[in-house]
């Protein structure tokens, strides 16, 4: 139910019901997006005694269709709103008696940050500040901040990002996320609130917005359009299946040490041309072209984007050794599941 679509009496009854039934009330921001919706589906079902309040502005990247599995669950409530709106955020914290926060909401597409950096600073920095300041006043549990490996900059051919790697962001997106990470750190050291931060590698899987690499490859291939690959296609990322990421967030949220940062990586380094070729091979088998040729013939190199980092790779040893997490999906199994999901759900053209 949308909180802003009910009258005041119904809203109060809904808040009372949430507090009566819940072991604890957790605010999830950005839950209609790619990672947030996968997380809510996983988390709501695993913890039926937690009440989950999903606060999402529903920008172009947020889609309520991503949450069809949650709408019938008693422990899920949706509130439409902007994390930069202090009055709304304060009301949600107060009325729902929010104990914990898991903060996914962010502007996240690098290309968009180059075109419109202001939106990234507002959402990622000011929005995180608004949440932290209200958590300081109202929260009684843990603030889990979801960040990215892009804050560390770029790597050469060797080495890995660790939790002690100096920050060196190279795009407005990564700079805004670095700023939000520093705010979370400051609220731990200054106000003593319970915080954890996780920096993840590139996620992939069901429900990802079509602007991202894998959905773009799948969509353009099936539409018989050129598959655009930046530069020489040799930019390397560490690919993490989204459900593995959700399970890591679960563990860190419950068991991570206060004030600590944990890196989450898939241990799957592949460059963009390898990703495109692998997806084309799967599509060749599952949805062959009418002309009989391979989808690989559609791969086209386009002008590289500004500030395009060459390589990211995560060392997740700390998370593995302290909390026992490791990715369950291999790259082969994860990408098969991903392509199959898009074949079943993608609206072409």
Q: Is the pLDDT of residue 1 over 50?
A: no
337 within a domain of the structure (yes/no): no
Active site residue 152: no
217 within a domain of the structure (yes/no): no
Q: Quote the pLDDT of residue 271.
A: 96
Contacts of 263 (CB under 8 A, 6+ apart): 149, 161, 162, 163, 198, 199, 200, 314, 315, 316, 318, 319
Calculate the dihedral angle through the C-alpha atoms of 89, 90, 94, 97, rounding to the nearest 10 degrees.
Answer: 40
199 within a domain of the structure (yes/no): yes
Q: Among the options 3, 149, 269, 309, which is catalytic?
A: 149
Q: Average pLDDT of 313-321? A: 97
Residue of higher predicted confidence among 308 and 84: 84
226 within a domain of the structure (yes/no): no
Q: Which domain holds residue 144?
A: 3-203+240-267+313-328
Q: In which order are the strands placed within the sheet that holds 24-29?
A: 76-80, 50-56, 24-29, 100-103, 143-148, 195-200, 261-264
Domain CATH for 27:
3.40.50.720
Q: Quote the pLDDT of residue 280.
A: 98
What's the pLDDT tens digit per position in 255-298? 999 999 999 999 999 999 999 999 999 999 999 999 999 999 99
103 within a domain of the structure (yes/no): yes
Q: Quote the pLDDT of residue 211.
A: 87
What's the pLDDT tens digit per position in 41-56? 999 999 999 999 999 9
Q: Is the pLDDT of residue 347 over 80?
A: no
Q: Among the options 76, 160, 173, 312, which is catalytic?
A: 173
Active site residue 297: no
Number of domains forming the structure of the chain: 1
132 within a domain of the structure (yes/no): yes
Q: Is the pLDDT of residue 3 over 90?
A: no
Q: Among the options 41, 107, 150, 250, which is catalytic?
A: 150
Active site residue 150: yes
């Amino acid at each position: 139910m949308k909180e802003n679509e009910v009258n005041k009496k119904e809203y109060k009854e809904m808040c009372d019901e949430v507090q009566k039934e819940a072991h604890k009330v957790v605010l999830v921001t950005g839950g209609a997006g790619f990672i947030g919706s996968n997380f809510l589906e996983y988390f709501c079902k695993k913890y039926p005694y937690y009440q989950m309040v999903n606060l999402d502005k529903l920008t172009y990247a947020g889609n309520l269709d991503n949450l069809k599995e949650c709408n019938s669950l008693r422990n899920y409530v949706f509130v439409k709103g902007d994390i930069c709106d202090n009055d709304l955020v304060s009301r949600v914290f107060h009325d729902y008696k929010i104990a914990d926060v898991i903060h996914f909401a962010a502007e996240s597409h690098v290309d968009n940050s180059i075109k419109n950096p202001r939106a990234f600073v507002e959402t990622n920095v000011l929005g995180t500040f608004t949440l932290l300041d209200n958590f300081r006043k109202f929260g009684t549990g843990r603030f889990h901040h979801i960040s990215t490996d892009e804050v560390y900059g770029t790597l050469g051919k060797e080495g890995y990002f660790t939790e002690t790697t100096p920050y060196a962001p190279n795009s407005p997106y990564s700079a805004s996320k670095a700023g939000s990470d520093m705010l979370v750190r400051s609220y731990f050291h200054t106000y003593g609130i319970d915080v954890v931060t996780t920096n993840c590698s590139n996620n992939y899987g069901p429900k990802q917005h079509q602007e991202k690499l894998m959905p773009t490859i799948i969509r353009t291939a099936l539409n018989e359009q050129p598959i655009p690959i930046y530069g020489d296609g040799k930019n390397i990322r560490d690919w993490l299946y989204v459900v593995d990421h959700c399970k890591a967030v679960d563990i860190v949220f419950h068991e991570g040490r206060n004030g600590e940062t944990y890196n989450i990586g898939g241990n799957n380094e592949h460059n963009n041309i390898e990703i495109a070729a692998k997806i084309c091979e799967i599509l060749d088998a599952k949805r062959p072209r009418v002309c009989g040729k391979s989808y690989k013939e559609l791969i086209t190199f386009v002008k590289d984007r500004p500030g395009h980092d060459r390589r990211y790779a995560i060392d997740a040893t700390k998370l593995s050794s302290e909390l026992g997490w490791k990715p369950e999906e291999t790259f082969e199994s994860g990408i098969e599941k991903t392509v199959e999901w898009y074949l079943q759900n993608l609206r072409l053209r």
